[in-house]
Structure 1
Amino acid sequence: MKTILLVPTGEGVGLTSACLGLVYALECQGIKAGFLKPFSQEANFSDSDRTTALYAHLFQNETVEPIRYESLVTQLNNDEKDELLEETVRLHRQVAKSHDLIIVEGLVPTNRDSFATELNATLAKALNAKVVVVSNADIQHAAQTAEKVENQLRQYSLSPERLSGVLFMRTKGLSEESAQIPVTFDPSLRLENETQTFIQNIQKTHAHIGSQQLPIIGLVPFSNILSVPRISDLASCIQATWINEGEAHLRRVLHSSLISSNIDKELHKFIAGELIIASADRSDAILAASVANESGIPLAGLVLAESDLQQSAILKFCQHAIKQGLPVLHTPLNAFEAAQKLANFSNEIPVDDTERATQVTRFVSSHIHPEWITQLLAGTEQSRLSPSAFRHELVQKSIAAKKRIVLPEGDEPRTVQAAAICQARGIADCILLAKPETVLEVAKARGIELPSSLEIIDPDLIRDQYVPKVVELRKGKLNELQAKEQLQDTVVLGTMMLALDQVDGLVSGAVHTTANTVRPAFQLIKTAPEYSLVSSIFFMLLPDEVYVYGDCAINPDPTAEQLAEIAIQSADSAKAFGIDPRIAMISYSTGTSGAGADVEKVAEATRIAQERRPDLLIDGPLQYDAASVESVGRSKAPNSQVAGRANVFIFPDLNTGNTTYKAVQRAANVVSVGPMLQGLNKPVNDLSRGALVDDIVFTIALTAIQSAQQEA
């Protein structure tokens, strides 16, 4: 069991972010990394330690709660360090039972906790852990940065073999471009040249830092974007009460501005992500914030200070605009006091802010150097495709595919942002079908930077050229007038672009129903020659592994032949995304234990699929527990190569498949990617109408990979 202990040089170095980022980097390599925080430094945490809770939320993985701060101090004061370390080892062993490697968060040296450094050194020995020193850095002051690390190393007095590296967090002095946020683990963000230059400068005064014995394992830039709280996090800081909570849990404070002069001179401050702070008697500021919000500019929020809000008439007048989501707070402090308190607000990530924690985790992991991870993992078993590894592979394979993906919902804000991300990262060349001026307005209002290479096509300028081809493809069913009418729908227009090979794939559904997205594909794209039907799969991102569920969206009651085809389609899709398929044909009966038409259909489908594809591991009928739980599989189907270890689950009908995927998704809080359509001549994929920006990005990536797979 390998253990890595992360120890900080002081407060505010980003120790929690470093731990979670390293866990994520290991997950992306297929390593089941556990996390342990042995000691809490929160004087009064009630149910769960903050870092421990964030780990559980992010990785859907259980760990143990740390020893409480009161107990820690009491045992140290009673000279019970040995007993304390014995309890720590017990916690470590508990985590080790189900993980390949453990990341341990050390104590932070503070004025209150002067024992932290000595206890960290003792902890490293007790857990037989390698030590990574975590410090902040300034590119312009290499010697001072190195001296912080050196001071910590002197206090530890650890043998060189015990030291594993140095991770520099919140590094200042780098370009703004280096602080871009990845969608997933993104090796292209690593600052290879900057790291080498920094090492050379450090080694002028501290030759061993950055050497082979003590490598710099990552240089993580400081990011203002990742230090931003939600407006809901700030209320207690300024003793505020809500006038309108709105989207307080979604809107983030990129900057804050105090409105003190004539409103004409302050209007430039009313931009996306801005927290406007004004005296409550500034009705002009309230009106300006309301107009901005109604115009589609997502201000972070509005803080009204001091007065008892006697001008409630202006608030009533602005209710329609405010109710569109603008968070409005009232504080008894004056505007200047409120601005000062907010400027000094802690940048620690709250337990429930999983969106920010996810972004920070990916950001840190993307800057950890692969050579160090490779060396760390030498001899460590890689046994599964983890959800993190799946997302990473998804992005990397789509970058390699270099495909053009059309997005018919081209002015929908989430779609615009996803397209900008995909274009900037090279995930796909995106084409937005929308009026260019509308897209530019959406981007400006939401602070989205549109890459110059992002293509925006006005549907009105191209629609007529597709009319003859639609009539030809739907011969006898549509005339020219009807074709022109159908092409008013941008999904139909995008599908025609795909049918004529002008693009490689289509993604829709953020505002359209599944039927709106799929119907044109059935009519104009049709099924691939080797298939007789179109089916769907979901990638279910369980905590330890990615499962494939099919068919959960298209075919209500497939025949045995169709079910066999769905199994083969799903297996090939799994392979395309790095999953070695072990296919279970699901039924209410395992083997010959039950009888009936439904069981016989699954048995016949299994036989047909095995006959058509002897290269695949396919077994059935299998009950779900016999397919997924090793002990049950051994008991119910002892001779099966699939039972107990299946990762592709084929359900007998839509009722079973759709119900199961939603039950697992909701009850186990599992992320599902899909539905991904299979069997079409060209890839078309549907989104949930509640899709997040990341969901759209991953679906675009998935579509690009499908296109490359079909070509191959």
Structure 2
Amino acid sequence: MLGLRACRTVLNNPIAYRLSTARLLSEQVSADGTDAIYIANVEGRRNNSPILLGLIDYLERTSASNIGFFQPVAESPFPHSITGLPRHVELLHNALKLKRDPQDMSAMSAQDAIKLLAVGNWNEMLDQVITSYQQYKKGHDLVILEGISRGGAGLVNTMELNARVASAIGTPVMMALDARSDSTAESLVNSALIARQGLIRNQAKVMGLILNKVSTANGAQLEKDIRAGLKDIGLPVFGALPRDPLLSSVRLDEIKAALGAKLVYGPEDAVLDSAVSEVIVATGSVDELLGQLAASRSRSLVVTSQDRTDVLLAVAAARLLGSTLPISGIVLTSAGSARSEAAESALRVCYGGQEGSSHLPLPVLSVDMPAYDALQAMSKASAAILPTSHAKIEQSKLLFERHVDAEALATELAAPRDQRLTPKMFMHQIMQQCLEKPQNIVLPEGMDKRVLAAAAEIATKKLANITILGKPESIETEARRLGLDLSACTIIDHTESLDIERYIEALVEARKHKGLTPEQARDSLADPNAFGVMMVQTGDMDGMVSGAAHTTAATIRPALMVLRGPESPLVSSVFLMCLPHKVLVYGDCAVNVSPTAEQLAQIAVTSADTARAFGLEPRVAMLSYSTGTSGTGPEVERVAEAVKIAKQMRPELMLEGPIQYDAAVDPTIAAAKIKEPSDVAGQANVCIFPDLNTGNNTYKAVQQSTGAIAMGPIMQGFVKPVNDLSRGCTINDIINTVACTSMQSLGVKGER
């Protein structure tokens, strides 16, 4: 809630206030701050309407940003909705005139999410959410995401769901917490702390808290006490929306929606956004009904059967004669016979309003059910904000502006923020690049069933154009046995290829300094790995992936003969370590056993280039068992010398060392160990190990202890990409390695 001074600022000079906030948003949010906010109700309730309406309206009014709205999992539609859209999608699209197609504003239905989660398929769910969100995000400066609610769809543990989705997307969470009439500051603080812990435990970042439905009796003191209770842990409270009588009221449009009723009398734009405080069932005489209405002190809804023309005419006559009956509308039930055409004509005139009349047209609704069923349905109608709830929509905007410290929120949005690249987003970006520019990749191991399964999936998803080496008849027979569709793949028998002479000539030319003869070249090309490498060397293929059924030496040796680059004479490798909340590059973990200082420097700059090729801004840490000058010895000195050489090779590179692993990747430890300003300490994303023993064991230890996905080894130092698989690789490993090979190829071509 705004303090007294802030409230006076808003009231006395709203234009200046809005301009200052608009400047914060338009100048900084898109440049340095967050580009999305994830609004998650702490208890998984669907009570976020006032917050969403107020926030998006405020942002659209006070900034030049193009604001979007997105639901990772679509909630259910409004009762009897014609569009079938999720309720908040329909509400916000209509009320705030959002530009994009509302069909694009959600990733999946709750039913689809339940099917995936029921079998533990978190990855597929998150992949679908990220793909849909990234597509929707294009063209928006800021997107407001609404968290998953229980909503009667069967989704449970919504806090974990929201934390995982927000963490995967990499957007901070704004918690929304509903107060009850008996809520105390202590109970609300505890609820906020528990929710915050749940979010943090699942790697989500928490931006702050907005309270909702706070009692007006003690709201100011309650908010003050909650702020005090959360101050020590640094959780900001941006405001507290009060429990509002208008928002809590049931209106005629909500009853219409609950009944699935039709408007039969009154103009198309009839005013349905009026309060309904009581229901009067007109079963008696007209005199009795008019007496009840005259005595009523609140707005009433009259329910009667469709054959009570006398009731309709009597109410219309009373209004036309100047009576101020407190009536919101009339509902006609299905009982009784239909009205005559003469009665219909008269009623259309009476209830459609007359030019010059001081009375608004009175809406008359019809429902195809008996009075008892209609009354039962009305009793279950709950207060909601519909697209037609104009008064509630405007009240929501007003409450947000009055009770949320929007300037503090805008400042938080504009604050420079660590732009985390989450593993899910990282993989999504790689796959999107592959889809947009599929590369030609050769797989020499055509008789390995894992390779065939991966090839089929890659071809189906159109991630790459796959060529498989082997006997076509044998491969097709195996594919049928496995139920695989390889129709989109090219299968080549390398022993009978028409290109063999061209490859022999190219190989002899590449190895002429070694005196290679055509006969020797022909013998070499009988090996599928050598043949695949020559397909890459001549440009027929963009990259090769092998090693599922061959040793690393057998895979890499042919590439060493023809693909080693003059600018990178050293071949090395890295692993892309997809940790739960970030992506790191580890090198060298597979090739060079005891690199010299010069080789370590080469590995460092090459690994930085690889990181950049995969969309990471490299911050390189040269690792050792000591940090800075805290230790001595030949191993530390070798790393220190490598740092000097690497900086001479690439002065612009953010590279530091010697440094210990914990100080390289953990900001808190870095602050304790390193007192000088650093672009690397605590934020390194490229870790260069001093030797193969350390690197190989570290990547496996991290993989096993954290559940990280280790993508690699990805080979470096070749002019065109050739990558090695582990012989224990999975189908997913092969797919990921093909994707990485495609990214390297795009980097070589300068097409990323």
| 1:578 counterpart = 2:683 | no
Distance 1:383 1:413 in 2: 40
Are 2:389 and 1:160 equivalent residues in the alignment?
Answer: no
Of 534-543 and 433-442, more deviation after overlay is shown by 433-442
**Counterpart among 204, 211, 217 of residue 99 in structure 1:** 204
Summarize the alignment of residues 423-438 of structure 1 with structure 2, pairs less than 5 Å apart: 423-438=459-474
Q: Does 1:545 align with 2:643?
A: no
State the SS of the aligned residue for 2:195: helix
> For 1:18-61, what per-residue CA distance to the aligned partner results, in whole angstroms no more than 9, with x for missing partners?
88577656767799x9999999999xxxxx98996999899899
Which amino acid counterpart does residue 405 of structure 1 have in structure 2? I
**CA positional deviation for 1:440:** 1.5
Q: Shift in Å at residue 410 of structure 1?
A: 2.2
| Whole-angstrom CA distance in 2 between matches of 1:700 and 1:599 | 37
- CA 382–440 in structure 1, closer or farther in 2 if over 3 Å, else same: farther
Partners of 2:626 and 2:377 in 1: CA distance = 62
Greater C-alpha radius of gyration: 2
Deviations 1:261-310 (A, max 9, x none): xxxxxxxxxxxxxxxxxxxxxxxxxxxxxxxxxxxxxxxxxxxxxxxxxx
Residue 733 (structure 2) aligns with: 695
Q: Give the stretch that moved more between structures: 82-91 or 596-605.
A: 82-91
Find the counterpart in structure 2 of residue 499 from structure 1. 537
Equivalent pair of 1:405/1:704 in contact (CA under 8 Å): yes
Cα 1:592–1:154, aligned 2, differ >3 Å: closer, same or farther?
farther
**Structure-to-structure mapping, 1:166-177, within 5 angstroms:** none
How far does the alpha carbon of each residue in 1:586-622 deviate from its partner, in whole angstroms, 9 at most, with x for none?
0011101111111111111111212221221100000
State the match for 1:627 in structure 2: 664
2:421 pairs with 1:385: yes
CA deviation string 1:509-567 (max 9, x = no partner):
11111111111100122x22211211111000000100000111111111212111111
Answer whether contact 2:577 2:709 (CA < 8 A) is retained.
yes
- Give the Cα–Cα distance (whole angstroms) in 1 for the partners of residues 631 and 128 of structure 2: 46
Cα 1:612–1:436 change in 2 (3 A) is same
Mapping for residues 468-547 of structure 1, pairs under 5 Å: 468-475=505-512, 476=514, 478-525=516-563, 527-547=564-584
Cα-to-partner distance string for 1:200-247 (whole Å, 9 max, x where unaligned): xxxxxx999xxx99xxxxxxxxxxxxxxxxxxxxxxxxxxxxxxxxxx
Residues 596-650 of structure 1 deviation map (CA, whole Å, 9 limit, x = unaligned) = 1111111111112122212211000001111111111112112122111111101
Q: CA deviation at 1:431?
A: 0.8
Q: Which letter maps to 1:93?
A: R
| Contact 1:517–1:686 (Cα < 8 Å) also in 2 | yes
Compute the TM-score of the two structures, normalised by the length of structure 1: 0.54
Tell me how far 1:701 sits from its aligned partner.
1.5
Q: 1:60 to 1:503 in 2, by over 3 A?
A: closer
Change in CA separation of 1:557 and 1:84 when aligned onto 2, cut-off 3 Å: same
Distance 1:16 1:469, change over 3 A: same
**How many residues are aligned here?**
441
8 Å contact 1:36–1:92 — kept in the other structure? no
Taking the aligned partners of 2:474 and 2:379, their CA distance within structure 1 comes to 60
1:658 aligns with 2:658: no
Equivalence for 2:718: 680
Q: Partner of 1:606 in structure 2?
A: 643
Give the 3-state SS of the residue equivalent to 1:411 in structure 2.
Answer: coil
Partner of 2:442: 406
The DSSP-based 3-state class of the residue aligned with 1:160 is coil
1:81-480 equivalences under 5 Å are: 88-97=191-200, 99-100=204-205, 157=382, 159-160=384-385, 383-452=419-488, 454-462=489-497, 464-465=500-501, 466-475=503-512, 476=514, 478-480=516-518
1:501 match: secondary structure: coil
SS of alignment partner, residue 13 of structure 1: helix
Hey, what's the Cα distance between the residues in 2 that align with 1:88 and 1:37? 17
Q: By how many angstroms is 1:494 displaced?
A: 0.6
Maintained 8 Å contact 2:507/2:521: yes
Label 1:89 to 1:159 Cα distance change in 2 as closer, same or farther (>3 A).
farther
State the secondary structure of the residue aligned to 2:550: coil
Mapped contact 2:441–2:466 kept (Cα < 8 A): yes
Provide closer, same or farther for how the CA distance between residues 437 and 623 of structure 1 changes in structure 2, counting only shifts above 3 A.
same
1:457 and 1:390 map into 2 onto residues whose CA distance is: 33
Q: Deviations over 1:642-693 (max 9, x none)?
A: 1111111011111111111111111222110011111111110011222222
Q: CA deviation at 1:477?
A: 5.4
Equivalent-residue separation in structure 2 for 1:591 and 1:543 (angstroms): 29
**Displacement of 1:401 after TM fit?**
3.2
| Residue 155 of structure 1, CA deviation | 6.2
SS at match of 2:610: helix
Q: Is the 8 A contact 1:410 1:432 kept in 2?
A: yes
**CA separation in 1, counterparts of 2:744 and 2:445?**
21
Does the 8 A contact of 1:3 with 1:127 survive in 2?
A: no
Q: State whether residues 404 and 431 of structure 1, in contact with CA within 8 Å, keep that contact through their aligned partners in structure 2.
A: yes
C-alpha distance in 1 between matches for 2:519 and 2:159: 62
* CA distance in 2: counterparts of 1:681 and 1:658, whole angstroms: 25
Shift of 1:573: 0.9
- SS at the partner of 2:727? coil
Normalised by the length of structure 2, the TM-score is: 0.51
Deviation at 1:387, TM superposition (A): 0.5
The answer to whether the aligner puts 1:704 opposite 2:742 as a matched pair is: yes
Return the offset for 1:386.
0.6
Distance 1:24 1:378 in 2: 26
* Distance of 2:573 and 2:562 partners within structure 1: 18
Q: Which shifted more, 462-471 or 485-494?
A: 462-471
Identify the match of residue 673 of structure 2 among 636, 640, 665.
636
Contact 1:34 1:95 in 2 (8 A): no
- For residues 596 and 37 of structure 1, do their structure 2 counterparts lie closer, same or farther at Cα, with a shift above 3 Å needed? farther
CA distance in 1 between counterparts of 2:388 and 2:515 reads: 78
| Deviation per residue, 1:157-180 (Å, 9 max, x gap) | 45439xxxxxxxxxxxxxxxxxxx
Alpha-carbon offset, residue 426 of structure 1: 2.8
Q: CA deviation at 1:154?
A: 10
Q: CA deviation at 1:411?
A: 3.2
Distance 1:153 1:393, change over 3 A: farther
Q: C-alpha distance in 1, partners of 2:547/2:558?
A: 13
Q: 1:455 to 1:663 in 2, by over 3 A?
A: same
Residue in structure 2 matched with residue 341 of structure 1 by the alignment: none
Contact 1:386–1:544 (Cα < 8 Å) also in 2? yes
Contact 1:424 1:451 in 2 (8 A): no
Unaligned segments of structure 1, at least 5 residues: 43-47, 62-75, 103-125, 129-142, 145-150, 162-205, 214-376
Q: Secondary structure at the match of 2:539?
A: coil
Determine the C-alpha separation between the residues in 2 that align with 1:406 and 1:646.
34
